Structure 1
Amino acid sequence: MPQQVHETDFHTLSAAFIRRLHESRLGLPHQVIDLSATPDATRVVATGSVRDTLSGPPRTAVYFIEDGDFRAIVDGVESTLHGRFSPNGRLLSFLSDRKRAGIFQLHIGSADRVENAKGCTEVDGTVEYTQWSPTGGRILLGVAGVGADIASTHGGTAITAATRDAPAWCPTVDYGTPEKAWRSLWIHDVENDSVRRLSLPGANYWESAWCGENQVVAVSSPSPDEDSWYRSVIVQVDVDTGAVVELFRGEDQLGVLTTSPDGARVAFVQALCSDRGLFAGNAFVMDLATRSVSRLDVSDADLSFLQWIDAEHLGYFGIRHLESVAGIVDIRDGSVSELPTGNRSIAGSRLPRGHFLQDGSAVVVQDSYTLPHEVTVLTKGGAKILASTAHDGSREVGSSAGRAEAVSWTAPDGLTIEGIVCLPPGEGPFPTVLNVHGGPVWIHRESWMMKQSIVPFLVSQGFAVFCPNPRGSCGRGQAFARKAVGDFGGAEVQDHLSGIDHLVNTGIADPARLGVMGGSHGGYIASWIVTQDDRFAAAVPFFPVTDWYSWTFSTNIPSFGFLNLDGSPEDPGSAFHMRSPVTHASSVRTPCLTIGGSLDKCTPAGQAVEFHNALRLQGVESALCIYPNEGHGIRGIEAEIDFNARILDWFASHFDL
C-alpha cells in the first residue's frame, strides 16, 4: 500500500463518490441537524450542515422551510445555527460567528425580515444554545469559554480563538484547566439589548432550561473539564440572585432537561452514557413542589429528547430496538400515545429528536440508508414531507449503495443480538467488513449512509458491511446497555464473532474475505478482536483506544475508563492492562491500518502510534495514518476522500480483489 494514495485509482474512486454526494448541493444543506417551529407550524426553521466548496469541513446555516425548499435566513458564508422563535412567533433568534469564525453570538430579528437581524450585546465566549423565557422578554444563553472542551461527538478538540503567532521556539504550556474554559449561564434582556452573567464562579453548566420566569434548571458540575460531565447533578438557579439548590443526583449521567410551561415540573433523562451528546435512557419527571421523582414507562424505549407540549403532556423521541419512536405521555395517568414513523428513522445530530406542535404532531427529520434527510411532519394519520435534501448526486449514491437489511442472531450465552447488514447487488457470499460502532452506548440504525460515507462507498465496490449492535448498545433499555460495563472486550466480542458466523452460515459473508473496522470504542474493538481471533484478513481501527493504561493519563475523559473497566491502572493485572490490545500484540496475525487525528483529546493519536509500534515489534504488517487537522473523527472533505480511499485500498489488497 502506498504511503500516499492521492494518485491511485482508489483515490479517484473515492473523490468521484464524494463529488456525487456534494457537488450539485454546494451552498445548500446536505443534512439537517436541528429543527424549531412556531406552535402552529406556520413557520419552521432548520439548521443544516453546508458545504460551499469541495474543501475543508462544512459550516452550519439556518434556513426557513418554505414552499418545499430551504431558504437561508441570512446571506453570506458565515456559520449560523440554533434558530429559535419567540413564544409569540414574531421574533427569531439565532447564533452567528460573522465577527470571529467559530465564536458564536446572539442575533435577533423579525421573523418576517430576519435578514435585517442585529447582533446583540456580546458575551465573553461562544454561545452554544439559547432558550426564550416563557413570556419572551429574556433569552437564556449557554456560553462556553475559549479553551473549553468540545465533546467527542463534535470532534473531541477544544474551543479556540485566533491568537498572534508565537515564536517557533515557544513551548506549549499546560497548567490544567484554562481560566476561561468554564461553561456559564447568561441572561439577555430583549428590549434593552443588555446581558448579564447569571451563574456564579466555581460551577460549570453543561445544559439548562427556564423553569418559569424566575428560575433556571441546569446540569452542573464543579469543574469545567469534559471528564467532570460524567459526575454532574441537576440544580435550580435563582435568576435574581444566582443562588443554587441541588435537585437531583443520579447513579448515571443526567441530561435532556425540559420544564413544564407552568414551571411546576422538570423532566430529564438518566442514562449510562459513553460520550456527552450520545444520550438515550430512562425519562423521569420531578414535581418541584414536593421533589418527588417518577419514571416514565415507555415500553423499554431509550429516550433521547423530551419536550413539554403543555403542563400535562410530555413529548419524547427515542429508540426501541432498531426503530425510532415519537410519542406523548399524559403525566396525569401515565398513558402513552405514539406517532407512526413508517419504515424510516428519525434523525438528529446523533440520536432521534424533533419538535412537537400544539396539536400533538411533530416536525422531524427522517431518513433511511438510501434516503437523505427529509423534513417531515408526523401525524396520527401519516407523514407530510416539507423539504428534502435529496439531489441527483445523492440519488446516484443511493442507487449504488445496495440495500440494508435487519438481522438478528443468538450469542453463545443465548442473548439475542440485532444489527443491520448493507449488501451489494447480487448473490453472496460477499467480501464482508464488520463495522463496529463507537460508544459503546450508541447504535447502528438504518440512517442515511449509516452516518458514514465509507459504508455505501465500500458497498458500491462489492463489499457487504455488517453493522451489529452488541450488548452495551442503546435502544434495548438500560439493563442491556449496562451489559458491557466491567467487561470491555469480553462478551461483546462474542456478539460480533457469532454475528459473523451467522452471516457465513446464511451465505452472505465469505469466510476467506473478512475484515473489521470501527472508530472510537469501535476502534478499540477492531484492534482488540484481532488479538483474540485470527479469522480477519485485514483490520482498520480508527481513533481507537489501544492501551487503557496510557490512555488514562492522556485523554480528557479518564472517568470513562474508571466507570467501565474493573480495577485500577496501578494494578498490573487489571483490565486496564489485560484488556489492552498492545498487551497482546504478539497474538495478532491480521494486517492492521490504524488511523488517528492529531487534534483528538478523547482518544489521542498516541493510541494509534502505540498499536502500530507494538505490531511492528512483533513483525505484524502494520500501517499508521495520522491526520494533522482532524480530531475525533473526519470532518475535512479532503481527509474524508483520503480516509475512504485508504480503507478501500487496505481491504481490497488484503482480500486479493
Structure 2
Amino acid sequence: MKTQLLASVTLLAVTAATPAMARPMTPEDVLKVKDVTDVSVSPLGSGIAIGVSQLPDISGGAKNGTSERQLRVVTAAGNVQDFLPADMHVSAIQYSPDGRMISFLWKPDGDDAKRGLYAIPVNGGGHRKLAALSDGNITGYVWGPDSRTVYLMAAPAADKARKKESKAGFNAKIYEEEQKFKRLFATDISAGPDAEPREIPFEGQISALEVSADGRWLAAAAAPTTQVDDSLMKTRVQILDAASGNRRALVETPGKIGDFEISPDGKTLSLIAGVDKHDPAATTLYLVDPANGSFRPVTEGQANAATDTEWMANGELAVLMHVGAQSELRFYDASGALLRSVNPGGLILRDIDTSGNRLAAIADAPEHPRELFVLDGDRFTRWSDHNSWLKDIDMGTQRTIRYTARDGQEVEGIVIEPVGGAPRGGAPTIFRVHGGPEAHDSNGWLTNYSGPGQVGAGAGYTVFYPNYRGSTAYGTAFSKQHQNDYAGKEFNDLVDAIGALESAGLTDRKKVGITGGSYGGYASAWGATALSEHFAASVMFVGISNQISKFGTTDIPNEMFLVHSRKWPWEDWQGMLDVSPIAHVDKAKTPILILHGENDTRVAPSQSYELYRNIKVRTDTPVRLVLYPGEGHGNRKAAARYDYNVRMMRWMDTYLKGDGREMPPPRFDLPEGFSGASEAKAEE
C-alpha cells in the first residue's frame, strides 16, 4: 500500500516548553483539569462572565460527583474574579441586556429545592432569586430586551399523584408512551421572585429559544415528541408570537439542526442545519427569513463545518468554522457574502459570544484545555489561565498528519508523539477513535478520561486520533462516505493509518492498540475481532457488537437508518450480521477490555454482554467486562472517569508494553487521599 505523510497547513507542531523538573502527565492529573464552559460578554463592555468547570477533587477526599461550575468575571487579560461562593455551582450564565446583572440557574441545597433563575449585581451585592416554579425545575431561559421580561423553559410539572403511587410500590414505567413536554413561561422579574410565571401554550418538546431585539417574537427549536430519535431528526425552528405563543412561521429544514441566532434588526435568522435528512450532522450555514420561514444555504458543499454563530452590532454575522482539524472565524454580511476570515493560529475555537462589536471565544490548543480568548483586530488574546500547573508537565509533540488510504482517499488525523520522541523501530501506539461517526477530533487539547492524549505520550506511546470517513469538518460528501457501509471503508482507514505511522517512524505495527466509545467502541470491537491481526490490544467503551440487536434496544433507530445504515435490518439480516463484531469472534486474538454504563439507553449494555459472552465461550482470548452503575452513554462522575482512565492505560501497558501473559488484576489500589481510599482505611 502506498502511503504518504503530509504536514497540516496550520500549526504543524506544538511542543510545550520543558522545565527542568518536568514530569509526565498521569490519570490523577486528568481529574485536575479545569475548562471554561460558558462565556457571556457584558453589554457595557465592563467584563466577560465565564463558567469554569472541574470535577470534584476526589483525590483530596471530596464527595464523588459530576463536574461543578463556578461563575467568574474577567475584566482584562489575567484579571479573573470569583463572583459567587466557592460552593455555589451554577449553569446557563448570561448578562442581562442592560449589563447590570449576571444571571444563572442554580438549585439550592435541600430535598424540596427547585432549580431557579438567580442573578448577582455587577457593581456589588449578593445574589438573589429572580424566578422559580413551584412544580418543576427551570432548564433554560432567555432575556427579553427590556431586562425585565424573561422567557423560561421548564421541566414538566411534577405529578404528585404518580409520586405517591410510586412510593407505594406502583412504579411501573410505560415505555415511550407517557411523554411529558417541557413548558414555556414568561415572567416579569420586577414582580418579585414569588410571582408565578405566566405559561405560554406550546405543543412539542422545546430545546432552545431566542428572542427578537424588539421583544415581539421568539424563535424556538422543538421536536414533535419527547423521544431522543425525534429530537435528533425532527427538531425544527418555529417563529412564535412572544405574547400568545401562536406560531407565525415554521422553518422546514429537512434534517438535523444546530445553533440559530436572530439578527439585531430582526430581519434574518442564522441557522446551522443539515442539507437533507441523510446529512449526518448539522454543519451548513443557512440564512432564514423569519417572516415566512424560507431559507437558503450559504456554505453548502464546502469542506468545513459551521459550529456556532453570533450577530455583531454592526449587522455582521460571525461564524465559527471548523476546517478539518483546525478552526477559523468568518464574518458574513446579512446577505451571506463572506467579508473576511480570521485565522486563530493554533487555537481551536469552540464557542463564541458577542456584545456590541466585542467578540470573545472559548478555545483550546495542544498545550492547554479550554480558556477565554478575546478577538483583538485580527488576532485572539488569551484572558484566562486555569491550568498553570501544566507548565510542569512534559508533553509530547502534537501535529496533524494526512495519509492516503488504499482507495486513494486522503484522510487526516492528529498524532501525539511519545515524550522525547519515538524510538528506532517506532513506539507502541494507541488509536483513539471518536464516536458518531458524525464528529471529528481537532488539533487542540485531546487529553481526557477516555482519550489517552498526553497521559499516553508520557507513558511512551504514540497516540493517534483518526478523522476517518464519516467524520465532520471535511464536508458533507466526506461525512456521507461511511453510509450503507458499516465497518467498510471507514475502518479500513484505521488500518491504512498504521502503515503511514510506521513509515514515519512513529509506530511499531506489532504493538498497536485501539480504543474509543460509542461508534469508536464499535471500531474497537471490530478491531479486536474482524481486524484482530492488526491490533494487539483493545478497550471498547459503550460500543456496538451486534447491529441487529442494537436496532431493537437503542433510542435512536430512525437516526441510525437515515444517516448510517440507510437500510433496515430486516432488509438484509445476513448483511447486518456480517458487519457485527460477534460474527467475527472466531478471528478474535486481541485481548479486549469492555466497559459500559449500566444505564446506557443509546447503546444498551446488552451489546457488551453479547461480545463478552461470545469471546468468553468461543475463545481463550483475554476479555474483561466492567460495568459502571448509574452511568449512561459516557461516564459523568469523577470516580468512574478516573477508574476508566486507569483501567485503559493498565490494559494497554499489559498487552502493548508487557508480556501479556496475565490480565491486569480486576481491582487496583487507589492512591492516598482519594475518597475511596480514605473510607476504606476508616472502615478498617
Residue in structure 2 matching 1:82, options 87, 92, 95: 92
2:324/2:442 contact within 8 Å kept: no
Aligned to 1:581: 581
Q: Displacement of 1:243 after TM fit?
A: 1.8
**Are residues 449 and 96 of structure 1, via their aligned partners in 2, closer, same or farther at CA, if it must alter by over 3 Å?**
same
**Are residues 596 and 21 of structure 1, via their aligned partners in 2, closer, same or farther at CA, if it must alter by over 3 Å?**
closer
Q: Displacement of 1:290 after TM fit?
A: 5.2
Alignment deviations for residues 107-157 of structure 1 (CA, whole Å, 9 cap, x no partner) = 133222363322523264333332211232312222234899xxxxxxxxx
- Distance (Å, rounded) in 2 between the aligned partners of 1:40 and 1:559: 46
Letter in 1 for 2:289: D
Q: Displacement of 1:643 after TM fit?
A: 1.3
1:146/1:180 contact within 8 Å kept: no
Residue 474 (1) aligns with residue 476 (2) = no
1:340/1:379 contact within 8 Å kept: no
Q: Secondary structure of the residue that 2:85 maps to in structure 1? A: coil
Alignment deviations for residues 583-610 of structure 1 (CA, whole Å, 9 cap, x no partner) = 3322322121111011222122221111
- Distance (Å, rounded) in 2 between the aligned partners of 1:70 and 1:82: 19
- Distance (Å, rounded) in 1 between the aligned partners of 2:50 and 2:181: 28
Aligned to 1:152: none
- Distance (Å, rounded) in 2 between the aligned partners of 1:570 and 1:114: 64
1:41-190 to structure 2, matched below 5 A, reads 41-54=45-58, 55-66=64-75, 68-99=78-109, 104-113=115-124, 115-122=126-133, 124-145=135-156, 173-177=172-176, 179=178, 181-190=180-189
Letter in 1 for 2:353: H
Letter in 2 for 1:508: L
Q: Displacement of 1:535 after TM fit?
A: 1.5
Across the aligned residues of Structure 1 and Structure 2, the Cα RMSD in angstroms comes to 3.1
Q: Secondary structure of the residue that 1:616 maps to in structure 2? A: helix
Alignment deviations for residues 577-634 of structure 1 (CA, whole Å, 9 cap, x no partner) = 3322223322322121111011222122221111111211221321111111322222
Aligned to 1:355: 353
TM-score (norm 1): 0.86
Aligned to 1:426: 421
**Are residues 284 and 181 of structure 1, via their aligned partners in 2, closer, same or farther at CA, if it must alter by over 3 Å?**
same
Letter in 1 for 2:317: L
**Are residues 196 and 449 of structure 1, via their aligned partners in 2, closer, same or farther at CA, if it must alter by over 3 Å?**
same
1:106/1:122 contact within 8 Å kept: no
Bigger relative CO (Cα 8 Å, ≥ 6 apart): 2
1:449-460 to structure 2, matched below 5 A, reads 449-452=446-449, 454-460=452-458
- Distance (Å, rounded) in 1 between the aligned partners of 2:589 and 2:339: 53
Q: Displacement of 1:550 after TM fit?
A: 1.9
Residue in structure 1 matching 2:391, options 367, 378, 395: 395
Of all paired residues, the percent bearing the same amino acid is 22
Alignment deviations for residues 187-221 of structure 1 (CA, whole Å, 9 cap, x no partner) = 22222244545553541112121134122112222
**Are residues 119 and 580 of structure 1, via their aligned partners in 2, closer, same or farther at CA, if it must alter by over 3 Å?**
same
- Distance (Å, rounded) in 2 between the aligned partners of 1:372 and 1:573: 45
Q: Displacement of 1:92 after TM fit?
A: 2.0
Aligned to 1:232: 235
Letter in 1 for 2:220: A
- Distance (Å, rounded) in 2 between the aligned partners of 1:588 and 1:172: 43
Aligned to 1:406: 400
Aligned to 1:416: 410
- Distance (Å, rounded) in 2 between the aligned partners of 1:279 and 1:140: 29
1:186/1:195 contact within 8 Å kept: no
- Distance (Å, rounded) in 2 between the aligned partners of 1:641 and 1:309: 41
1:421/1:464 contact within 8 Å kept: yes
**Are residues 15 and 367 of structure 1, via their aligned partners in 2, closer, same or farther at CA, if it must alter by over 3 Å?**
closer
**Are residues 44 and 503 of structure 1, via their aligned partners in 2, closer, same or farther at CA, if it must alter by over 3 Å?**
same
Residue in structure 1 matching 2:368, options 358, 367, 371: 371
- Distance (Å, rounded) in 2 between the aligned partners of 1:172 and 1:249: 39
- Distance (Å, rounded) in 1 between the aligned partners of 2:370 and 2:27: 17
Letter in 1 for 2:116: Q
- Distance (Å, rounded) in 2 between the aligned partners of 1:457 and 1:164: 49
Q: Secondary structure of the residue that 2:471 maps to in structure 1? A: coil
Residue 32 (1) aligns with residue 40 (2) = no
Letter in 2 for 1:641: Y
1:197-212 to structure 2, matched below 5 A, reads 198-200=199-201, 202-211=203-212, 212=214
- Distance (Å, rounded) in 2 between the aligned partners of 1:127 and 1:603: 29
Aligned to 1:249: 252
Q: Secondary structure of the residue that 1:516 maps to in structure 2? A: strand
TM-score (norm 2): 0.83
Letter in 1 for 2:81: R
Q: 602-611 or 535-544: which moved more?
A: 602-611
Q: Displacement of 1:36 after TM fit?
A: 0.3
Q: Displacement of 1:421 after TM fit?
A: 0.7
**Are residues 653 and 530 of structure 1, via their aligned partners in 2, closer, same or farther at CA, if it must alter by over 3 Å?**
same
- Distance (Å, rounded) in 2 between the aligned partners of 1:574 and 1:311: 58
- Distance (Å, rounded) in 2 between the aligned partners of 1:104 and 1:275: 37
**Are residues 165 and 287 of structure 1, via their aligned partners in 2, closer, same or farther at CA, if it must alter by over 3 Å?**
closer
Q: 202-211 or 409-418: which moved more?
A: 202-211
Q: Displacement of 1:69 after TM fit?
A: 4.4
- Distance (Å, rounded) in 1 between the aligned partners of 2:87 and 2:558: 39
- Distance (Å, rounded) in 1 between the aligned partners of 2:277 and 2:458: 32
Q: Displacement of 1:574 after TM fit?
A: 5.7
Aligned to 2:273: 270
Aligned to 1:302: 305
Aligned to 2:547: 548
Letter in 2 for 1:188: T
Letter in 1 for 2:124: R
Residue 499 (1) aligns with residue 497 (2) = yes
- Distance (Å, rounded) in 2 between the aligned partners of 1:642 and 1:605: 18
Q: Displacement of 1:267 after TM fit?
A: 1.3
1:73/1:114 contact within 8 Å kept: no
Q: Secondary structure of the residue that 1:331 maps to in structure 2? A: coil
2:25/2:454 contact within 8 Å kept: no
- Distance (Å, rounded) in 2 between the aligned partners of 1:507 and 1:414: 22
The structure number with the bigger radius of gyration is 2
Q: Displacement of 1:503 after TM fit?
A: 0.6
